[in-house]
Structures are given as C-alpha cells and as structure tokens.
Chains A and B, each alone.
Chain A
Amino acid sequence: MPNNSSHLPFVGAFDAARPGLPGAGLSWLKDFRETGIERFNALGLPSSKIEAWKYTRLKPLEDTDFQPVTDDDGMAALDTVPSLLPNPGGRPRLVFVNGRMRPNFWIEGDLPDGVHLDCLRDVLTRNPDWAEAHLGAIAGDEAMPLMQLNKAMMDTGFVLRVDDGVEIEQPIEVVFIGGLTDRPVAYFPRNLIKLGKNAKATVVKHHFGQGVGAYFANAVTEIDIGEGATFNHYTVQAESRDATHLSTTHVRVAKDATYESFNLAVGGRLSRNEVSVRLEGEGGHCGLNGAYLMRGREHCDNTTVIEHLAPHTSSREVFKGVLNDESRGVFQGRIVVHKNAQKTDGHQLCKTLLLNTGAEIDAKPELEIYADDVKCSHGATTGQMDETALFYLRSRGVPEALARNLLVQSFLGEALEEIKQDDIRQALTDKVVHWLPAACFLSEEWRDA
C-alpha cells in the first residue's frame, strides 16, 4: 500500500477485513473497491489547504486506531430502539447497530406494492445487476477523498426503491445506533434511494450514539429523484460525544421533481454533513434546510452545493446554528447557476447564534452565477441573543434561564418551519427542547405562579 495512507492506520486493518465485506464474490465490485482505495490513497485525508476543508480538520481520525466492526459488535445488547416518531408500531423501520442490520428490530409496516426497502448486503446478493447499475451513479466525484474511502470500504447501508407513480405517505425510519463496543470502530454505510416518475416517499434517518468511546461513521447516500417525484429527507444526528460522523449525500433532481430535506445535528465530536444537489430538469426544486446545536468542544460542519443546471429551477436553503461553550460551527453553502439555467430562483440564509465567547462560527455562503436572468440572494448573520428581547421576557415575569431557552427556540423556529410534515417537525422540535439547558424544568417558581 502506498505511503500516503500511512497516516491512516485503520486503512491497513481494513485491507485484511476486505474479503469479508458484502459482495466479496462480485468481480465488478472488487474493481469498484480497488479504484476507490487507489484514489483515496492518492488523495489522502483532506487537509485544511483544500478550500472545501478550510475550517474542518480530521485530526481525530489520524489519532485513533479504528477497527472494522465484527458481527459481535453488531449484536450488542439492545433492549429497545428509541424511535423518533410516535407510535412506531405501524411505521416501516430499519435498524442498524454499529453498521450491522438487526432483523429483529425490523418493522415491515405496511409498505405498499412498488416500495422496496432492503439492506445493501441483501441487494448485492439478490440483485447484483441493479446494484452494479446504481452504485456510484449519482455520487461519483473522484475529488472527494471520503467518498472514495466509502467506495472502497462500504460495508452496510440500505436501499430504497419506489416504483413509478407509487406514493407512500408513512415516513420510513432508518435508525443507526453507534457505540456499544470496547474499542474504536469504523463503518461505512452506503445508502441508495431511487424514486421513479411521480413517486413520493419520506425517509427519516436517526443517528444516535449509546455508551462511551469513539467510533467513526463515513456514510455516502445517493438519491435519484425521477420526473415529477417528491422525496422528503429528514435526518437527526445525535451521535455520542466521542463520535465522528461524516456524511456525504448526492442528489439528482429530475424535471418537476422536488427534494426537501432537513438536517438536525445535536451531537458528535466531529460531524460533517456534505450535500450536493443537482437540479437537472426544468421545474426542479430543492429545499435544503438544517439546524445545529453544539456544546462542549463539538464541531459541526454543513457544506452544501446546489447546482442549477436547467431553466426554471428553484432552491431554498435555511440553516440555523446555536453554539455554546467552545464548540465550533462551519457553514459552507454554494449556489451555482449554470449558463443556460435562466429564470433560476435561489435563496439561501444562514444565521448563527453564539451563546458564549469561545464558540466559533465560520460561514462561507457562496453564489456562483453564469446566467443573467436569475434571482439569487444569500444572507448570513452571526450574533448573540437579543438582549432587548431577553429583557422583555424577563420583565413579563419569565425567569432568565427559561427566557434564554425560549429565545433559542424562537431563533430556530425559522428553520424548523421549513419542515412541512407536522409530526416530523414536532419530533425535531422535541429534540431541540431536549438539547436546551434544563432550565425550563427547574423553574418551579414560574410553573407554580
């Protein structure tokens, strides 16, 4: 193995594990993995000299001797699976523990005909031709090291296929549970989502960590939204405090199709949510929204690119951050309007609240415009809590700690409002409330008044 991967000790360990990775018998997959590792070795881990990684360093990865997960790690004892949504009984759900699918927690729910939900391993076994045609079809960026690493190492993930014209109203929940091992482990989910013409589906991804100790998840999700289809994509990232969570999502939006997403990050020592959306057909729309709440020395990076490639496409992006203690937030959002994408409508907003001096935000909202008849704008603000508003609430008898919580909630409201489904918005709002200091539960004097 070339030298430049020497700074990544865990790569060697994986070399040994590779014969056991899913689809080991498929020769095309072997080649696919080979090109991935070669490319990764050539690129190395991204350094801060690369513009897209200016503000996020992958230091923890270099210092930790990550090991591949074993079947035992996947079978870690688990009594219940906390569900994000109420009444999980009837909703389709897929559960992964340390990257291994747990059939005993799988709820088939009432998936209608034409909706196929499987884990990647099964698809590689049962439907290798489909997998060959679709793996890397949307996410093929050779310049992205982490995507290349995932390409080589992918060992888990799910595949959702929705046939033409099929709509599923029930959100499909996918739960990834990390931690619960006696040593640092790494896993590499690859998720494929494909919606046929005029199809409709909603996926809620819930990442959370249990126990203590470092683990590393490097996921790649490929989403292909057919003509006139709608895909709603919600993610809650609540990894444990020692976890590294890197996620790369590539989305292709066809004519008159819609991609709506919301990413809520409330955990992880180091997390990066990198999304690239290509609006390839006229009338395509994407809503790319998110919120992050960080404390301690957590670091959260949201890096997004929305490319308008066809006329009459629109995009809307709202990201809100709340940073406490010595945490650090990074927002890099780029809107690209290509030459013939006239009549594009693209708006982006990124606002950050610093609760403590010591916390840091680095924001880089970018516009890259090559067409003249377009409406594009972005806005970015950073600042602290509005002292006047705080005083106003207190003067009305609201205790200070509670008033602060209310103002954080109100600040995040503008982003959460972008979530159209009520139950999901409520679920995410609850997550936000849980993140807040417990002041609202302690303020007995106010509750009794």
Chain B
Amino acid sequence: MTTPKVISREATSSELDADYKWGFTIDIGSDLAPKGLSEDIVRLISAKKEEPEWMLEWRLKAYRHWEKLKFQAPKWANVKYPPIDYQDIYYYAAPKSNAPKSLDEVDPEVLEAFEKLGIPLQERERLAGVAIDAVLDSVSVATTYQGMLEKHGVIFCSMSDAVKNHPDLVKKYLGSVVPYSDNFYATLNSAVFSDGSFAYIPKGVRCPIELMTYFRINQADSGQFERTLIVCEEGAYVSYLEGCTAPARKTHQLHAAVVELVALDDSEIKYSTLQNWFPGDKDGNGGVYNFVTKRGKAAKNAKISWTQVETGSAITWKYPSCILQGDNSVGEFYSIAITNNCQQADTGTKMIHLGKNTSSKIISKGISAGRADQTYRGLVRMSAKADGARNFTQCDSLLIGDQCGAHTVPYIESKNKGAIVEHEATTSTISEDQMFYLRQRGIPPEDAIALVVNGFCREVLQQLPMEFAVEAQKLVGISLEGSVG
C-alpha cells in the first residue's frame, strides 16, 4: 500500500536547512496578486475566483472587521515573535496554468511536485483508499476519486468549486461554526481565503474512503489562508486527513487557516492532521507561523474527534475545539506536539459542554527538546445546562534537555453540579536508566529517544488511521533528531 509521505523523502534542494527533507521548492510560474491587503485585494481574490456576489460581501464584511482589529493580534499565547507586517505578504498566489478541468490538464510540474512528496495525483497510481485534494499555495490543484465519491453522494472538492457548484450548502454552513468575527486570524482568513477543501457527506452515508487534503506552501513571502468546511448530515461518517509541508525559506511564512466541522445528529467526523510545516533552522531562522482556528459543532448524539501530530512550524497557535451542543454528543482531542530547536507551540483545545450527557476526552502529549518552548492550553467548560456531562483530561509533558520549557495551562469552568471534570497532568524526562537499558540492547541513542517518545505518544498514535500512523511515527523520530546531547 502506498502511504502519503508527509515525511521520508530525500530533498533535492533547500535554501536553508538540509535536515528538513521536504524543503525543496518547485519552479512553476505563479500568478501573484500584489503584496499587501486592501479592499481591492479582497475584491481581486473574489474576482479571480469568479465568486458570486454574496461571497464577496461576506469577505468584505470580514475585511472591514479586520480593519478594526488590525493591531490587535492576540498576545495572550506563550509565544514570541516580531510583529508581522501584513502589508508585506502576498495574499494570492496560484500556479500559473488555468484551473484544470481534469487531472489530465494539471501542470506536469505540479504533478511531479506532489509525486516528490509521495502524493500521487494520478488515480492509476492509486493511493489506496484515500481521495486527495491537493492544495498548492492557496489553490486546489487536483482532487482525486471525485467520480467514485459522487456515486455515494459524497461531495469532495475544492472550496472554490464548492462556492460555484454548491452555493446553497456553502452559504448555509460557511461561518456557522467559526464566524468571520471570531478572532484576529479567523477574520483575516475570512477576508482573503483563496481555497481549501469542502466535503459533504449526505444523510446516512458512511464515506467509503478516507478524504485527504494535502497542503503545500511553495511561493516565498506568501501567506496561505485555506478554509476547510466539512458537513456530515444525520447519521453520516467521514474520516478526514490533513497533511502539510512547506519549502525551507529564510523568511517566515504565515499560515492562517480555518477549519469548520458541522456534525449533525448521530453523525461522526474524525479529523486527523500531520502538520510538518517547515520549522525553521536550528537557530530559528525561517519557518512557518501556523495560526489556525479549528472548531466543530456537534449536534445530538454526534461525535467529533480531532487527532493532531504537530511537529512542524516555527510557531504553532492552534486549539481544535468542540462545541458539544446536542445532548449526548462527544468530543475528543488527541494531540502530539513536538518542539525542537527554537520552535514554539501554544496548542490545546476547548471543549464547550452545552448539551446534557455530553462527554469529552483530551489526551495531550507534549515533547519539548532543544531550546523549544511548548504550552498546552485547554479549556473545559460545563454550562449550567450540561447535566451529566463528563470530561477527562490527561496532559503529559516530556522534556529532553535542560534548555527547553514545557507548560500546562488548563482552564476548568463548571457551573453544573452534575458535571464531572477530571484533569491530570504530569511532566517527566527520559531517564538515564531507560537510555542505558535500550542502548544495552543495541539501540543507538537517537533511535532510543524516538522509541521512548513513540511509547510516550502511543495513546494518540493509536487514534490515527493506519496510513497516517506509520508516517507519524517516523516523523516523531525525525523531528527529534539532534536533540540528544
């Protein structure tokens, strides 16, 4: 079986860091809008995408709101970076060729680029059991298996196509979970998002294959602002995978995505992420700023499960959350976050319990090495109406070396006596005994660390679909290379 290689291929070239194996750039002409953000740029993006009026209006509303927020990027997270010049970023970058009508029309350079990443877009080289939407810079370049999915009534396409072909669905659900005014980055995204994936699973359908979006930033100085919307109708099920890489660039790249999940009654959405954006070099040069808003809303008896493996990005700011609105709905968050060298991550989740007998589970495994700093930040809120609601949280941190930091900041708010919240957190290191034991059995130090860390993360790795789990395990090892002192 072919697996999507979010890791494990040799790089051809990279501007910066030879250790980041996905750091190559591709040379395909890009269609670029001028740098900077203005109402004109928003209009231009909308026009480029031939959007209907209502879509443009929504973007403009967001833009005008962002104008008000302009200098109010959130400061509460435990991450440090110089102010971002929002006028020095390309808000629209697309491969030069016209939008392909079918896979045959996709620019061979682009196909080759994805091939290099281990993402074959040719259906004959089927990536078994996975339909892929490939997004390069801000634009979806190809979506596989659409024909097969259509037979089941499943819609899986780029957001641009969805706006054109399924306007009613998009109109109904876009912004219904993350409104355009939600937060600084979500507002920015709402104004300028250029593409992303859209998935719709009709009532009672169990999506026959896994859906995957593969995100790749190529253009230098560009921001990537994709927007993903997944809607599961009553009783439907989907497993969705997301993979990300970017070239190694000297400058920072901004990634401000929004993901909205709508899980209607009795449905289930399983969302897995392998985030391996370029983390910057050993001294903190370059790397992606990953400021992402992900949230799902679960109706009666619905279930939303987030699993994330975060190994990349210079800075990660991300809190995949669940609004447990319907009675008996379930939210899960399984996370592995690895920070090495100068990486910073402030990540966690929010579980908002509104319905009766709602339950949530949070398993967070943070690994900090080098000079990295990592924070788990989570909120569990039990509303006064959430009778019988339950939460269990386990937050473990592993520190490797004495120059890194690991922090745990949970917020627990309960207004219901019948709701039960349990939170546990520990912090530890890899003991000298463990290292000696493994090395005595013949395992070299870096492999020994990878083994212990994989063991530490096991509960989360087990949540990943098979295709991803193997890659994730390797990624864990690779991300920690050089951390043994």
Interface residues of A, Cβ cutoff 8 Å to B: 51, 339, 342, 352, 354-384
Per a CB cutoff under 8 Å, which of A362, A374, A381 touches B420? A381
- Docked-complex contact A361 and B400, CB < 8 angstroms: no
B470 interface hit (Cβ, 8 Å): no
What interface size band does chain B fall in?
A: 35 or more
Tell me how far the C-beta of B329 lies from the nearest C-beta in chain A, rounded to whole angstroms: 20
Main secondary structure of the interface of A (DSSP, over half): strand
Whether B420 contacts A360 by the Cβ 8 Å rule is no
State in angstroms the CA–CA spacing of A339 and B403 once bound together: 7
CB distance from A395 to the nearest CB of B (A): 22
Minimum-distance CB pairs A-B, first 3? A354-B417, A372-B399, A383-B420
Point out the residues of chain B lying under 8 angstroms from A380, CB to CB.
Answer: 410, 412, 421-423
Assess whether B408 is interfacial by the CB under 8 Å rule: yes
Residues of chain B within 8 A of A373, CB atoms compared: 402, 429
- Judge whether A379 and B402 touch: CB under 8 Å: no
Cα-based distance from A342 to B412 in the complex (angstroms): 29
Interfacial residues of chain B within 400-437, with CB under 8 A of chain A in the complex? 400-402, 404-429
A361: which of B414, B423, B428 is its contact (CB, 8 Å)? Answer: B414
Nearest CB of chain A from residue B392's CB, rounded to whole Å: 10
The minimal Cβ–Cβ distance linking B376 to chain A, given in whole angstroms, is: 9
Specify the chain A residue showing the minimal Cβ separation from B418.
Answer: A384
Residues of A within 8 A of B421 (CB): 380-383
User: How long is the Cα–Cα vector from A403 to B413 in the complex, in angstroms?
Assistant: 27
Q: How far is the CA of A372 from the CA of B404 in the complex (A)?
A: 8
Determine the chain B residues whose CB is within 8 A of the CB of A361 once the complex forms.
Answer: 412-414
Bound: A352/B416 CA distance, A: 12
B interface: dominant SS: strand
- Complex alpha-carbon distance, A368 and B377, angstroms: 12
Q: What 1/0 flags go to B119-134 for Cβ under 8 Å of A?
A: 0000000000000000
> In this assembly, does B384 line the interface, its C-beta being within 8 Å of a C-beta of chain A?
yes
Closest to A381 in B: B422
> Contacts of B420 on A, CB cut-off 8 Å?
381-384
- Rounded to whole Å, the gap between the CB of B475 and the closest CB of chain A is 22
- In the complex, the answer to whether A360 meets B419 with C-beta atoms within 8 Å is no
Residues on A with beta carbons closer than 8 Å to the beta carbon of B425: 365, 367, 377-379
Among candidates A360, A362, A369, residue contacting B399 with C-beta atoms closer than 8 Å: A369
Interface flag for B347 (CB, 8 Å): no
Residue in chain A with minimal CB distance to B417: A354
Q: Is the CB of A363 within 8 A of B412?
A: yes
CB-CB under 8 A from B412, the residues of chain A are 361-364, 380, 382
Q: Could you list 20 further interchain pairs (A-B, Cβ under 8 angstroms) beyond the known A360-B415, A377-B427?
A: A354-B414, A355-B417, A357-B387, A357-B417, A360-B413, A362-B411, A362-B413, A363-B410, A364-B410, A371-B402, A372-B399, A372-B400, A372-B402, A373-B402, A375-B428, A378-B408, A379-B423, A381-B420, A382-B382, A382-B414
A356–B405 CB distance below 8 A: no
B413, closest chain A residue (CB): A362
With contacts A360-B413, A372-B429, A377-B425 taken as known, whether A383 is within 8 angstroms of B419 at the C-beta atoms is yes
Using known A-B contacts A355-B417, A374-B427, A382-B419, determine if residue A342 contacts B402 with beta carbons closer than 8 Å.
Answer: yes
Residue of B nearest to A371 (CB): B402
Q: Does B397 contact A (CB under 8 A)?
A: yes
Q: B408, A366: Cβ atoms under 8 Å?
A: yes
